């Protein structure tokens, strides 16, 4: 390879642009983590940009104890886990029936559920709020968990359906010949095969539920039921007084999803982009 | 086999929960939005049927036009920034060999997994007119240029759109990267033999072949912009005045603040129609023929 070609292959100008954008993308977060470890004087005057001179972990203690961060955190965790379990269970069963079993309206049923993808969720919040009130679910966990599950069904169904269609039919045939009934074959033969898809969707649904803001805002008003995205709004008033603790609370709220992403970066990217291949 | 996979009871057990939940929580409310937009309704009583009066009122409401305009501005900013910068990031990573690609990918993508509240609060801190990062940077450069973008009615909507563009850039990048990788290597090789190199080859070969990906990304960016709500709710509360309202904000205020559920539903119905039109238009304009390799 000639010198000029090598240079072209490396694209120095574009590479520089990429590194610059990486800084734009990450530095605000570093800045947040930095100031979560500083006191106001350091943030505002002596050292606004750089690494903290002295780790003030008391900000984290402050955030954790004085504001209800633990309550929000546990709520978020609970809501997200139940949403994941509910969504995956329902979507796997439904898409299996649509993809493999024989019944008359299966194509219609599938299309009907997939239409949900084209509806912006916040649009239906008014009727939803009325429904939640009429079912006496207002200010319970169910008020947000049930809608979260319902909203995630369309997408999960679409993804699982694609997976089920790619499994050879011989698997069920042999299970049938071996005398298994439909439930056993579903549980023991089919589910283990779609494990990768389930793992992907677990991540996808978890991130969605953990970060959801709009529905929670409109359907939850009780302090003890608030999830993190909602609870953190509470700090808005205190902003000027205690940046350090605010930064600490924000860092705590971001930790779970960032850790999930760092450890499973490929899977998370796949999970979030899986729709483009099917939906496009 | 037919009996095995045609087990009526099993089919019902598998499909009924999903169909029921979806119908009650997603489908029925969509119908309700359109139906209730024809009522004057406070959410408590039965309401009175007023046919299209909510819409007539909406078309005379200046906040409605502000909302419509802001949605379009938001969508345009997302589309231009995310698809523009996203393309450069994705194509450079896809076809070049250099160190640090993994770090770059992770850096681009990390903001995507954050909660919108954290991102908005963080940018509030960055935009802060006294202690914010931007103003500190100006200060460090010796400029006495102090700005409060969010309380300035001319800049607020752009400042908010920038936050959303920043947060989801990595998402568009990942989509475009996946699209670029699915373009077979031979096409670029052929272009190279014909004398088209680097970005010229991308412009002529890779990007046109990625039209399906671009279509999807554009729909995401545009509908994302039209649906914007959380960003303004957290960062400006729709203000200053009503200058950063969007249709969802109008719906939220009408229903949950003023108690006009019918009027709010009309605003939501317009949003659904708007998103539908835009999605159909994009699908019409780009890639009428599906490309198969």
Task: Tell me if A9 is assigned to some domain.
Answer: no
Q: What φ, ψ does residue B129 adopt, rounded to 5°?
A: -70, -20
- State how far the alpha carbon of B224 is from the alpha carbons of A13, A50, B157, B168, in Å: 31, 34, 15, 10
pLDDT of residue B289: 57
Residue B29 has pLDDT above 80, yes or no: yes
Q: Answer yes or no: do A258 and B27 touch at CB < 8 A.
A: no
The CA distance from B67 to B46, in Å, is: 29
Mean pLDDT of chain B: 88
- Is residue A196 located within the same domain as residue A160? yes
Q: DSSP secondary structure string, B110-124?
A: GGGGS-HHHHHHHHH
Query: Could you tell me which of B166, B178, B176 has the C-alpha nearest to residue B110?
Result: B166
Q: Which two tokens stand for residue B292?
A: 């198969």
Q: State which fold the B61-285 domain adopts.
A: MetI-like fold (1.10.3720)
CB B110 within 8 A of CB B170: yes
Q: Which two tokens stand for residue A249?
A: 């609370």
Beta bridge partners of B48: B40
Q: Which two tokens stand for residue A16?
A: 């520089």
- B 210-269 near A (Cβ less than 8 A): 212-213, 215-217, 223, 226-227, 229-230, 233-234, 248, 251-252, 255-256, 261, 264-265, 268
- Is residue A39 located within the same domain as residue A147? no
Q: What ranges do the domains of chain B cover? A: 61-285
CB B230 within 8 A of CB A214: yes
Task: Tell me if A4 is assigned to some domain.
Answer: no
Its domain, for residue A31, covers: 23-56
Say what the alpha-carbon torsion angle B277, B279, B282, B287 is, to the nearest 10 degrees. Answer: -130
Tell me, yes or no, if A250 comes closer than 8 A to chain B by beta carbon: yes
pLDDT of residue A112: 93
Residue B292 has pLDDT above 60, yes or no: no
Entry field: residues in chain A: 280
Task: List the single range of A267-271, B28-32, B217-221, B247-251 with lowest mean pLDDT.
Answer: A267-271
- Is residue A40 located within the same domain as residue A102? no
- Is residue A164 located within the same domain as residue A241? yes
The CA distance from A239 to A142, in Å, is: 32
- A 178-197 near B (Cβ less than 8 A): 182-183, 185-186
Task: Tell me if A187 is assigned to some domain.
Answer: yes
Of B1, B25, B136, the CB nearest to A147: B25
The CA distance from B257 to B162, in Å, is: 28
- Is residue A180 located within the same domain as residue A46? no
Between A and B, how many residue pairs show a Cβ–Cβ distance under 8 A?
Answer: 294
Tell me, yes or no, if A116 comes closer than 8 A to chain B by beta carbon: yes
* Model confidence, pTM: 0.89
Q: Which of A20, A86, A123, A183 to mutate to test the interface with B (most CBs of B within 10 A)?
A: A123
> What residues contact B77, with CB distance under 8 A and at least 6 apart?
B158, B161, B162, B165, B225
Q: Which two tokens stand for residue A49?
A: 């940009």
Q: Answer yes or no: do A276 and B178 touch at CB < 8 A.
A: yes
Tally of CA atoms within 13 A in the half-sphere of A234 that contains its CB: 20
Task: Tell me if A232 is assigned to some domain.
Answer: yes
Between CA A260 and CA A183, with CA A199 as vertex, the angle to 5 degrees is 155
Q: Which two tokens stand for residue A263?
A: 């450890």
Within its chain, how far is the Cα of B35 from the centroid? 26
- A 204-243 near B (Cβ less than 8 A): 207, 210-211, 213-214, 217-218, 228-230, 232-233, 235-236, 239, 243
pLDDT of residue B140: 80
Q: How many structural domains does chain A have?
A: 2
pLDDT of residue A176: 85
Q: Answer yes or no: do A11 and B96 touch at CB < 8 A.
A: yes
Chain A residues near residue B258 by CB distance under 8 angstroms: none
Chain B residues near residue A23 by CB distance under 8 angstroms: 107
Between CA A137 and CA B229, with CA A219 as vertex, the angle to 5 degrees is 160
* Regions of chain A short of the pLDDT cut 50: 1, 279-280
Question: What does the pLDDT look like over B239-262, one tens digit per residue?
Answer: 788 899 999 999 999 988 888 999
- Is residue A226 located within the same domain as residue A198? yes
pLDDT-derived band of residue B114, with 50, 70 and 90 as boundaries?
very high
pLDDT of residue A245: 85
Percentage of chain A exceeding pLDDT 70: 91
Task: Tell me if A7 is assigned to some domain.
Answer: no
Residue B101 has pLDDT above 60, yes or no: yes
Chain B residues near residue A216 by CB distance under 8 angstroms: none
What is the CATH classification number for the domain harbouring A160? 1.10.3720.10
3-state SS assignment for residue A179: coil
Task: Tell me if A167 is assigned to some domain.
Answer: yes
The C-alpha of B79 sits at a distance from chain A's nearest C-alpha, in angstroms, of: 17
- Is residue A81 located within the same domain as residue A186? yes
Q: Answer yes or no: do A29 and B216 touch at CB < 8 A.
A: no
Task: Tell me if A6 is assigned to some domain.
Answer: no
**Of A32, A56, A80, which closes a domain?**
A56
pLDDT of residue A8: 56
pLDDT of residue A151: 93
- Is residue A32 located within the same domain as residue A75? no
Task: Tell me if A93 is assigned to some domain.
Answer: yes
pLDDT of residue A24: 94
CB A262 within 8 A of CB A80: no
- Is residue A87 located within the same domain as residue A137? yes
Tell me, yes or no, if B285 comes closer than 8 A to chain A by beta carbon: no
Chain B residues near residue A19 by CB distance under 8 angstroms: 100, 104
CB atoms within 10 A of CB B82: 27
């Amino acid at each position: 390879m000639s010198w000029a070609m090598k240079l072209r292959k490396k694209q120095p100008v574009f590479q520089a642009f990429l590194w610059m954008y990486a800084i734009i993308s990450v530095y605000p977060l570093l800045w947040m983590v930095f100031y979560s470890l500083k006191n106001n004087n350091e943030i505002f005057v002596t050292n606004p940009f750089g690494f903290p001179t002295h780790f003030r972990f008391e900000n984290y203690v402050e955030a954790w104890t004085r504001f209800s961060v633990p309550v929000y955190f546990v709520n978020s965790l609970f809501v997200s886990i139940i949403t994941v379990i509910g969504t995956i269970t329902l979507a796997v069963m439904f898409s299996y029936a649509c993809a493999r079993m024989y019944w008359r309206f299966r194509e219609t049923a599938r299309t009907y559920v997939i239409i949900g993808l084209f509806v912006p969720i916040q649009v239906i919040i008014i009727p939803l709020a009325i429904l939640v009130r009429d079912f006496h679910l207002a200010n319970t966990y169910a008020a947000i968990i049930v809608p979260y599950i319902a909203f995630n069904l369309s997408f999960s169904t679409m993804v699982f359906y694609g997976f089920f269609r790619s499994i050879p039919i011989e698997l069920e045939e042999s299970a049938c010949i071996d005398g298994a009934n439909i439930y056993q074959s579903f549980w023991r033969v089919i589910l283990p095969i779609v494990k990768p898809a389930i793992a992907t969707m677990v991540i996808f649904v978890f991130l969605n539920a953990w970060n959801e803001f709009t529905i929670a805002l409109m359907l939850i008003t009780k302090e003890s039921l608030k999830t993190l995205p909602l609870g953190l709004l509470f700090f808005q008033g205190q902003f000027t007084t205690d940046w350090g603790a605010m930064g600490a609370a924000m860092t705590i709220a971001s930790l779970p999803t960032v850790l999930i992403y760092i450890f499973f970066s490929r899977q998370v990217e796949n999970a979030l982009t899986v729709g483009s291949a099917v939906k496009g | 086999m037919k009996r095995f996979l045609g087990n009526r009871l099993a089919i019902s057990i598998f499909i009924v929960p999903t169909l029921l939940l979806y119908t009650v929580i997603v489908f029925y409310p969509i119908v309700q939005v359109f139906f209730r937009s024809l009522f004057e309704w406070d959410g408590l009583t039965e309401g009175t049927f007023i046919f299209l009066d909510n819409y007539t009122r909406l078309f005379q409401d200046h906040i409605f036009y502000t909302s419509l305009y802001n949605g379009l501005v938001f969508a345009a900013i997302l589309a231009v920034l995310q698809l523009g910068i996203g393309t450069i990031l994705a194509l450079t990573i896809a076809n070049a060999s250099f160190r640090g690609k993994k770090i770059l990918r992770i850096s681009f993508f990390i903001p995507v997994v954050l909660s919108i509240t954290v991102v908005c609060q963080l940018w509030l801190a960055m935009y802060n007119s006294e202690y914010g990062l931007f103003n500190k940077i100006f200060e460090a450069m010796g400029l006495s240029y102090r700005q409060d973008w969010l309380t300035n009615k001319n800049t607020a909507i752009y400042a908010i759109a920038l936050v959303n563009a920043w947060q989801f850039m990595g998402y568009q990048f990942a989509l475009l990267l996946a699209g670029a990788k699915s373009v077979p290597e031979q096409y670029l090789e052929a272009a190279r033999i014909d004398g088209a190199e680097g970005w010229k080859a991308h412009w002529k070969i890779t990007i046109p072949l990625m039209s399906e990906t671009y279509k999807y990304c554009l729909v995401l960016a545009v509908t994302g912009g039209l649906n914007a709500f959380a960003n303004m709710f957290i960062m400006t509360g729709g203000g200053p005045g009503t200058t950063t309202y969007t249709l969802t904000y109008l719906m939220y205020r009408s229903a949950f603040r003023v108690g006009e559920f019918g009027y709010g539903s009309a605003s939501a119905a317009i949003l659904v129609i708007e998103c539908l039109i835009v999605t159909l238009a994009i699908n019409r304009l780009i890639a009428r023929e599906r490309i198969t390799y």
